[in-house]
């Protein structure tokens, strides 16, 4: 089914099941510890062995020699796999890192070998006996030092152009009566998902099955096929449950590649989980940025010039952190300039992490907006509203399909009590705490991608959905079940959802905030086909058939839904594909974040006291799972604002704090009351679901709102994330 | 993890004797730190002596009016003990500021005192670290040192001791009771229990080889207001950037030990005479001779501010 014109009224609009706050279908499995994760498929592949990955001890150079004598002789060892055994592996498409070092080492903890043994303990002990010697060469690890020589890169498949120019930015900025020119930095960050990267690989002849933890199974099969040099058709990937990914499990990484190679070498199934201390330097991360923002406005607060330049680094072949994406779309302004530059750094690969580019860019832009509002002596909410635009500012002929930023800001201001804000910073105190409030806008693209599904109906009226969509903790199972239930007029209890198997019809997977809107639309298409098949089987006119309460009705005839499958199971499969609406309309999601912080007047510890997010993302498919996505994202925003920081040792060239004691993410005690308001409003240009993704929107802007609140509390403007107490000490003037 | 042999002993003396018999042995109690370090091959003992069943899990009053805390009393039980909460509130608060509920359930009193540093370079066996591998150098001094020590450190090592409990114990004038392999016992004041690194940062305490901690002794309670303030980047489950353990008396006198700044709980008794003069004067004396790195120089101000917060709280 091709979606080419805005959707009219359709069965989803009934919202009997869709739009209801259904609890997660797989929730009981997860709360009882019975959902099976990649590393736990012990019965599916009996007599499996264990692989332990050895990471490179240097950041850049060559492997001189690997002495495997002792490791090979260690108890239980079945195989040792290095590049000397399997040759140089080509990179995949989405992640470009080479997943097995040798002879060159491209970054610290790049995999050098996998040691396979009968038990995990034997594999780990033997791995420590592998003696690897290196020839280290000098590398580049310092973004600030590499910045000035960084070229404009070719745009990657998921980033926009590296440079955009509209009007006369330079002239308008020079002429602006009120302006800001400031530089912000964001650090390298890690996804730090709970479930480590893990795979169990099992060969049967030349067919490979991997139980793995991947967000996009189509990319996974494609990239694993490329890396191993086998047809992707010979690969079956199963990722039924995923303990978080955040963009760090998009496609094949070292666990799946090395488990596959190890299983082949050992002649039996092998499972590999990356140990936590290896994950931070072995896998991908959100790269650090340096961002210069220039804003010019007239005295009444009309923005006349917006400039955003950004620098990030990556391994050769890697992409930019596209921080300017939001700046292109968020505010009006006739004269605009954006530029992304990319330095070569010999750290681990920088790649997607939740709202890539947008989360990072908005950490800077939304502080800059707060700074300019202050210069204009305008309320920061009013300043943002004044510069709203209903068209893509770089292409004014292209309207937003739906954009409720102003409503988000106004609703949020009302709910939060923004009018009580004291504009003068450092003036509100409660006991030992300096109190401040901050606001930031949120914007995140709302892509939809081709997605297919298969739907089955049996004689008991049970509807089974199959698609290779994944659920990374987001609620995919539930919203897909709700879609099928709504389309076929049954309750959720009559729907079985099967996900995460690459032999199922292809979806775009979980990522880029496209999963929910795309996958449910694919299910919609398949369900439409099934409705036709049902009507036909019952001898009804498909145009007239109504599906409700487990019944199919047409005229004065009605049947139980299962009747249609009495003779044989009915199966329908279809994909939703898309026309040009995404080019005609700017399709984005919007929000506003309001935050109150307390800063301890003595220690300058920063604690968030309350948070409010107002979001607009088209139809909300399930307000409970949507809210969970947003509060999870807000929590991640607290981490980004206040603590998350992969610290680069610029001498050795690696992320030093490579475990969860050193890389701090928020704990429960850091997270205060979080309120989420989901604004209503369908978007018929998206798909028949009229929905957009929301999982990444909730993160964008949060860190800046916190930064602005810290400023309001203390009068100290910190432009370098994370905002930690050492950046405030000595600068806060106490009343 | 390297292969090791294992034995379980029944009495403290048996433990010390077993250790004397087997070179390279380590005592295992709660295991919350040692086992992690063994998995990373930072510790590679050839032999493990499990002292978990030797008793030593009682908290008893001493004839002098203090408390004798068995070496194997868990952090949870110690923090929750009625007398500790009433008379040694600082100790209870410090314990509860550390780790997590699960870890405190396993971690023991002696094990807490003997936990190793959390310097990230100590934890990565590819990196230079004089504490882990004597003579290999220190990557931290010119590297990532934001959380590391500012005083009592050396050119060989700037690691801190991570314990919260030890800070309270130091302010409380605790003593460590031990038994040696030959069966003799002694007590070591906590003030003399930790060595400064100098050129030998791998030697962390004044315990002799094979000497086993049997108890920690607290002198009779001294009253006063007990405050433990721990400063960190997140609200829980993080080691202190700086912590201040204080016992403040109504007359303005008091005792203060500081954590997160040195290879041991940092207390300078002579500086405490300056407490009535305020945080600035006290801290200047306390941290005299500090040698911070560029990344952790903020701790000088942070200690002063936190002491000020504690003194302020003591007034209320």
Residue B309 DSSP symbol: H
Whether A661 sits inside 8 A of B309 (CB atoms) is: no
Which residue from A357, A196, A324 is spatially nearest to A700, judged by alpha carbons? Answer: A357
- A452, A430: one domain: no
Q: Residue A289: which pLDDT band, with cuts at 50, 70 and 90?
A: very high
Quick check: A392 contacting B, CB < 8 Å?
Answer: no
pLDDT digits (tens, 9 = 90+) for A456-484: 999 999 999 999 999 999 999 999 999 99
Q: Do the Cβ atoms of A332 and A303 come closer than 8 Å?
A: yes
Place of tokens 């062995």: A49
Which residues sit opposite A209 in a β-bridge?
A202, A236
Which residues sit opposite A51 in a β-bridge?
A116, A272
Q: Please report how the helices A702-714 and A358-376 are oriented relative to each other, as an axis angle in degrees rounded to 10.
A: 30
Whether A124 sits inside 8 A of B301 (CB atoms) is: no
How far apart CA A593 and CA A703 sit, in angstroms, is 9
Assess if residue A367 is contained within a domain: no
Query: Within 13 Å, how many C-alpha atoms sit on residue A481's CB side?
Result: 24
Quick check: A107 contacting B, CB < 8 Å?
Answer: no
> Distance (Å) from the C-alpha of residue B302 to the closest C-alpha of chain A?
6
How far apart CA A305 and CA A179 sit, in angstroms, is 9
Give the mean model confidence (pLDDT) for residues A116-141: 98
Q: Is pLDDT above 90 for A314?
A: yes
Q: In what order do the strands lie in the sheet with A163-166?
A: A163-166, A335-344, A303-314, A289-297, A178-186
Q: Is pLDDT above 60 for A449?
A: yes
CA A318 to chain centre: 18
> Distance (Å) from the C-alpha of residue A358 to the closest C-alpha of chain B?
25
Q: Is pLDDT above 60 for A97?
A: yes
Q: Indicate the residue among A222, A257, A282 that finishes a domain.
A: A282
Question: In whole angstroms, how far apart are CA B4 and each of A116, A566, B24?
Answer: 21, 65, 10
- A592, A729: one domain: yes
Give the mean model confidence (pLDDT) for residues B282-299: 98
Q: Would you call the peptide bond into A306 cis, given omega within 30 degrees of 0 as the criterion?
A: no
How far apart CA A614 and CA A284 sit, in angstroms, is 31
Decide if A358 is catalytic.
no
- A454, A535: one domain: yes
Place of tokens 């600035």: B280
- B312 chain-A contacts, CB cut-off 8 A: 432, 602
- A658 chain-B contacts, CB cut-off 8 A: 120, 124
For residue A121, give the nearest of B1, B127, B306 by CB distance.
Answer: B1
Assess if residue A484 is contained within a domain: yes
> How many residues does the structure list for chain B?
316
Q: Show Cβ contacts of residue A704 under 8 Å, excluding neighbours closer than 6 positions.
A: A362, A363, A364, A365, A366, A367, A370, A438, A440, A641
Q: Show Cβ contacts of residue B110 under 8 Å, excluding neighbours closer than 6 positions.
A: B29, B71, B72, B213, B214, B216
β-strand B59-61 against B67-70: which pairing, if any? antiparallel
pLDDT digits (tens, 9 = 90+) for A198-210: 999 999 999 999 9
Whether A729 sits inside 8 A of B120 (CB atoms) is: no
Which residue from A111, A115, A91, A90 is spatially nearest to A101, judged by alpha carbons? Answer: A111
β-strand A2-3 against A570-578: which pairing, if any? parallel
- A114, A241: one domain: yes
> Which pLDDT does position A355 carry in this prediction?
97
Question: 3-class DSSP state for residue B194?
Answer: strand
Please give the residue of chain B at the shortest CA–CA distance from A672: B235
Q: For residue A127, what are the domain limits?
A: 49-138+196-282
Pure H helices in A176-253 = 217-228
Assess if residue A339 is contained within a domain: no
Which CATH number belongs to the domain containing residue A699 in this structure?
Answer: 3.30.365.10
Assess if residue A79 is contained within a domain: yes
> Which pLDDT does position A735 carry in this prediction?
56
Q: Do the Cβ atoms of B224 and B248 come closer than 8 Å?
A: yes
The ipTM of this complex is: 0.97
For residue B309, give the nearest of A602, A667, A726 by CB distance.
Answer: A602
- A606, A680: one domain: yes
- A563, A599: one domain: no
- A555, A698: one domain: no
How far apart CA A298 and CA A173 sit, in angstroms, is 10
- A16, A129: one domain: no
- Residue by residue, DSSP assigns A621-656 as S-HHHHHHHHHHHHHHHHHHHHT--B-EETTTTEES
Q: What number of other Cβ atoms are within 10 A of residue B313's Cβ?
A: 15
> Distance (Å) from the C-alpha of residue B78 to the closest C-alpha of chain A?
23
Give the mean model confidence (pLDDT) for residues A557-571: 97
Question: 3-class DSSP state for residue A92?
Answer: coil
Q: What number of other Cβ atoms are within 10 A of residue A564's Cβ?
A: 27
> Which pLDDT does position A59 carry in this prediction?
98
Q: Is pLDDT above 60 for B60?
A: yes
Token code pair at residue A302: 């009309």
Structural domains in chain B plus CATH codes: 5-52 (3.30.43.10), 227-314 (3.30.390.50)
| pTM of the entire predicted model | 0.98
Quick check: A32 contacting B, CB < 8 Å?
Answer: no
Give the mean model confidence (pLDDT) for residues A593-609: 98
Whether B126 sits inside 8 A of A57 (CB atoms) is: yes
Report how many domains make up chain A.
3
Whether A725 sits inside 8 A of B118 (CB atoms) is: no
For residue B118, give the nearest of A642, A651, A661 by CB distance.
Answer: A661
Q: At CA A260, angle to CA A244 and CA A135, rounded to 5?
A: 90
Q: What number of other Cβ atoms are within 10 A of residue B161's Cβ?
A: 25
Q: Do the Cβ atoms of A707 and A723 come closer than 8 Å?
A: yes
> Which pLDDT does position B316 carry in this prediction?
72
pLDDT digits (tens, 9 = 90+) for A12-63: 999 999 999 999 999 999 999 999 999 999 999 989 999 999 999 999 999 9
Whether B1 sits inside 8 A of A666 (CB atoms) is: no
Q: Give which of B124, B159, B228, B313 to mutate to test A binding, by max A Cβ within 10 Å.
A: B124
- For B218-245, b/e burial (b = at least 16 CB within 10 A) is beebeebbbbbbbbbbbeebbbbbbbbb
Token code pair at residue A287: 């790269």
SS (H, E, C) A247-261: CCCCCCCHHHHHHHH
Please name the residues between 415 and 474 in chain A that touch chain B, using a CB distance below 8 Å: 432
Q: Do the Cβ atoms of A693 and A148 come closer than 8 Å?
A: no
Query: Within 13 Å, how many C-alpha atoms sit on residue B165's CB side?
Result: 25
Whether B233 sits inside 8 A of A725 (CB atoms) is: yes
Give the mean model confidence (pLDDT) for residues A159-167: 92
Q: Show Cβ contacts of residue B185 under 8 Å, excluding neighbours closer than 6 positions.
A: B177, B178, B179, B214
Q: Name the least confident of A324-328, A653-657, B12-16.
A: B12-16
Assess if residue A354 is contained within a domain: no
Token code pair at residue A406: 């102003």
- A684, A664: one domain: yes
Q: What number of other Cβ atoms are within 10 A of residue A275's Cβ?
A: 16
Whether A726 sits inside 8 A of B146 (CB atoms) is: yes
- A663, A557: one domain: no
β-strand A654-655 against A648-649: which pairing, if any? antiparallel
- Residue by residue, DSSP assigns A162-226 as SEEEES-HHHHHHH-SEEEEEEEEE-BB----SSPPEEEEEEETTEEEEEE--S-HHHHHHHHHH
Token code pair at residue B233: 């980047």
Contacts 24+ apart (CB under 8 A), A417-422: A418/A381, A418/A594, A421/A379, A421/A712, A422/A712
CA-based radius of gyration for chain A:
27
Among chain B, residues having any CB pair with chain A shorter than 8 Å are 1-3, 39-41, 118, 120-121, 123-124, 126-127, 139, 142-144, 146, 229, 231-239, 241-242, 298, 301-302, 305-306, 308-309, 312
Compare A644 and A733 and report the one with higher pLDDT: A644
Q: What number of other Cβ atoms are within 10 A of residue A391's Cβ?
A: 16
Q: A233: buried, middle or exposed (CB in 10 Å: 19+, 13-18, 0-12)?
A: exposed
Which residue from B236, B231, B237 is spatially nearest to B259, judged by alpha carbons? Answer: B231
Q: What number of other Cβ atoms are within 10 A of residue A142's Cβ?
A: 16
How far apart CA A635 and CA A443 sit, in angstroms, is 17
β-strand A198-204 against B47-50: which pairing, if any? unpaired
Token code pair at residue B302: 């942070």
- A125 chain-B contacts, CB cut-off 8 A: 1-3
Phi/psi at B14 (nearest 5 deg)? Answer: -60, -40
Assess if residue A235 is contained within a domain: yes
Give the mean model confidence (pLDDT) for residues A424-439: 97
Token code pair at residue B108: 């023991």
Q: What number of other Cβ atoms are within 10 A of residue A170's Cβ?
A: 14
Please give the residue of chain A at the shortest CA–CA distance from B307: A602
Whether A667 sits inside 8 A of B309 (CB atoms) is: no
Phi/psi at A469 (nearest 5 deg)? Answer: -55, 150
Q: Indicate the residue among A229, A260, A282 that finishes a domain.
A: A282
Instruction: State which H helix or E strand residue A584 sits in.
Output: helix A581-584
Whether A729 sits inside 8 A of B298 (CB atoms) is: yes
- A491, A604: one domain: no
How far apart CA B304 and CA B297 sit, in angstroms, is 12
> Distance (Å) from the C-alpha of residue B186 to the closest C-alpha of chain A?
36
How far apart CA A352 and CA A372 sit, in angstroms, is 30
For residue B236, give the nearest of A669, A725, A730 by CB distance.
Answer: A669
Phi/psi at B62 (nearest 5 deg)? Answer: -95, 160
Q: Is pLDDT above 90 for A360?
A: yes
- A672, A682: one domain: yes
Assess if residue A323 is contained within a domain: no
Q: At CA A207, angle to CA A201 and CA A210, rounded to 5?
A: 25
Give the mean model confidence (pLDDT) for residues B66-90: 98
Q: Indicate the residue among A266, A282, A298 that finishes a domain.
A: A282
Assess if residue A486 is contained within a domain: yes
Pure H helices in A476-546 = 476-488, 515-537
> Which pLDDT does position A733 carry in this prediction?
85
How far apart CA A430 and CA A433 sit, in angstroms, is 5
Phi/psi at A320 (nearest 5 deg)? Answer: -85, 160
């Amino acid at each position: 089914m091709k979606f080419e014109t805005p959707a009219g009224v359709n069965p989803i609009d009934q919202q009997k099941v869709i739009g209801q706050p259904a609890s997660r279908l797989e929730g009981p499995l997860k709360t009882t510890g019975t959902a099976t994760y990649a590393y736990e498929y012990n019965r599916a592949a009996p007599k499996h062995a264990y692989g332990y990955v050895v990471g490179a001890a240097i950041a850049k150079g060559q492997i001189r020699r690997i002495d495997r004598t002792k490791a090979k002789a260690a108890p239980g060892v079945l195989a040792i796999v290095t590049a000397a055994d399997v040759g140089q592996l080509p990179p995949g498409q989405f992640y470009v890192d080479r997943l097995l070092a040798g002879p060159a080492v491209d970054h610290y903890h790049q995999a050098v070998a996998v040691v396979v043994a009968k038990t995990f303990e034997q594999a780990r002990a033997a791995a420590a006996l592998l003696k690897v010697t290196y020839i280290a060469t000098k590398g580049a690890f310092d973004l600030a030092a590499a910045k000035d020589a960084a070229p404009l890169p070719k745009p990657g498949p998921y980033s926009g152009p590296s440079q955009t120019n509209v009007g006369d930015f330079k002239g308008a900025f020079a002429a602006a009566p009120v302006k800001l020119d400031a530089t912000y930095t964001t650090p390298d960050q890690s996804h730090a998902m709970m479930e480590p990267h893990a795979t169990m690989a099992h060969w049967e002849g030349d067919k490979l099955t991997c139980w793995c933890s991947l967000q996009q199974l189509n990319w996974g099969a494609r990239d694993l096929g490329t890396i191993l040099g086998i047809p992707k058709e010979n690969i079956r990937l199963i990722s039924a449950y995923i303990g978080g990914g955040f963009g760090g499990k998009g496609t094949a990484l070292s666990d799946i590649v090395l488990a596959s190679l190890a299983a082949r070498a050992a002649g039996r199934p092998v499972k590999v989980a990356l140990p936590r201390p290896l994950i931070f330097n072995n896998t991908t991360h959100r790269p650090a940025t340096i961002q210069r923002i220039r804003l010019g406005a007239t005295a009444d607060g009309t923005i006349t010039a917006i400039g955003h330049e950004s620098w990030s680094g990556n391994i050769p072949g890697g992409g930019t952190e596209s921080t300017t994406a939001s700046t292109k779309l968020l505010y009006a302004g006739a004269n605009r300039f954006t530029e992304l530059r990319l330095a070569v750094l010999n750290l681990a690969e920088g790649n997607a992490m939740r709202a890539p580019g947008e989360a990072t860019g908005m950490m800077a832009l939304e502080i800059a907006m707060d700074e300019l509002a202050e210069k204009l002596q305008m309320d920061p909410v009013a300043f943002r509203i004044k510069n709203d635009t209903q068209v893509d500012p770089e292409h004014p002929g292209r309207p937003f399909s739906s954009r409720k930023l102003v409503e988000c800001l106004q609703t949020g201001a009302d709910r939060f009590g923004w009018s009580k804000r004291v504009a003068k910073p450092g003036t509100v105190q409660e006991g030992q705490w300096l109190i401040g409030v901050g606001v930031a806008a949120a914007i995140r693209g709302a892509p939809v991608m081709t997605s297919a599904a298969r739907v089955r109906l049996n004689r008991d009226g049970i509807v089974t959905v199959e698609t290779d969509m994944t659920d990374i903790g987001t609620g995919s199972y539930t919203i897909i079940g709700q879609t099928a239930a709504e389309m076929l007029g049954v309750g959720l209890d009559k729907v079985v959802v099967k996900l995460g198997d690459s032999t199922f019809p292809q979806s775009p997977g979980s990522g880029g905030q496209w999963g929910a809107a795309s996958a449910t639309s694919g299910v919609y298409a398949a369900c439409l086909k099934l409705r036709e098949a049902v009507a036909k089987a019952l001898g009804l006119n498909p145009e007239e058939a109504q599906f409700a309460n487990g019944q199919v009705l047409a005229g004065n005839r009605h049947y139980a839904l299962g009747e249609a499958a009495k003779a044989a199971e009915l199966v329908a499969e279809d994909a939703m594909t898309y026309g040009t609406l995404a080019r005609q309309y700017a399709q984005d999601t919007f929000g506003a974040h309001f935050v109150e912080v307390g800063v301890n007047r003595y220690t300058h510890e920063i604690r968030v006291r309350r948070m409010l997010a107002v979001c607009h993302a088209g139809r909300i498919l399930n307000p409970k799972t949507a809210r969970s996505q947003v509060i999870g994202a807000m929590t991640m925003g607290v981490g980004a604002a206040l603590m998350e920081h992969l610290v680069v040792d610029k001498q050795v060239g690696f992320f030093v704090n490579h475990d969860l004691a050193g890389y701090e993410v928020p704990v429960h005690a850091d997270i205060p009351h979080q309120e989420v308001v989901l604004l209503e409003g369908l978007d018929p240009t998206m798909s028949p679901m009229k929905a957009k993704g929301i999982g990444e929107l909730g993160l964008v802007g949060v860190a800046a709102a916190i930064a602005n609140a810290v400023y309001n509390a203390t009068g100290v403007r910190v432009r370098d994330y994370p905002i930690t107490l050492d950046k405030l000490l000595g600068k806060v003037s106490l009343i | 993890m390297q292969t090791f042999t294992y034995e379980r002993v029944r009495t403290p003396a048996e433990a010390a004797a077993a250790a004397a018999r087997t070179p390279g042995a380590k005592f295992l109690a709660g295991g919350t730190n040692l086992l992690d370090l063994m998995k990373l091959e930072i510790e590679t003992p050839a032999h493990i002596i499990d002292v978990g069943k030797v008793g030593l899990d009682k908290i008893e009053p001493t004839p002098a009016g203090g408390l004798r805390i068995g070496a194997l009393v868990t952090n949870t039980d110690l923090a929750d003990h009625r007398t500790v909460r009433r008379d040694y509130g600082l100790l209870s608060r410090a314990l509860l500021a550390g780790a997590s509920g699960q870890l405190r359930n396993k971690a023991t009193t002696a094990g807490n005192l003997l936990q190793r540093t959390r310097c990230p370079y100590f934890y990565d066996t590819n990196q230079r670290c004089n504490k882990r591998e004597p003579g290999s150098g220190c990557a931290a001094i010119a590297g990532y040192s934001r959380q590391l020590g500012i005083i009592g450190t050396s050119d060989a090592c700037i690691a801190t001791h991570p314990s919260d409990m030890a800070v309270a114990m130091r302010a409380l004038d605790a003593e460590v009771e031990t038994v040696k392999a030959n069966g003799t016992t002694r007590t070591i004041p906590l003030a003399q229990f930790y060595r400064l690194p100098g050129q030998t940062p791998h030697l962390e305490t004044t315990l002799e080889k094979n000497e086993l901690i049997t108890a920690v002794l607290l002198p009779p309670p001294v009253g006063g207001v007990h405050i433990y303030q721990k400063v960190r980047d997140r609200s829980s489950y993080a080691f202190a950037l700086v912590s201040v353990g204080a016992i403040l008396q109504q007359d303005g006198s008091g005792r203060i030990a500081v954590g997160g700044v040195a290879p041991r709980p940092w207390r300078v008794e002579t500086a405490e005479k300056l407490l009535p003069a305020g945080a600035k004067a006290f801290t200047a004396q306390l941290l005299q001779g500090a040698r911070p790195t560029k990344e952790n120089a903020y701790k000088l101000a942070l200690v002063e501010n936190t002491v000020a917060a504690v003194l302020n709280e003591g007034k209320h």
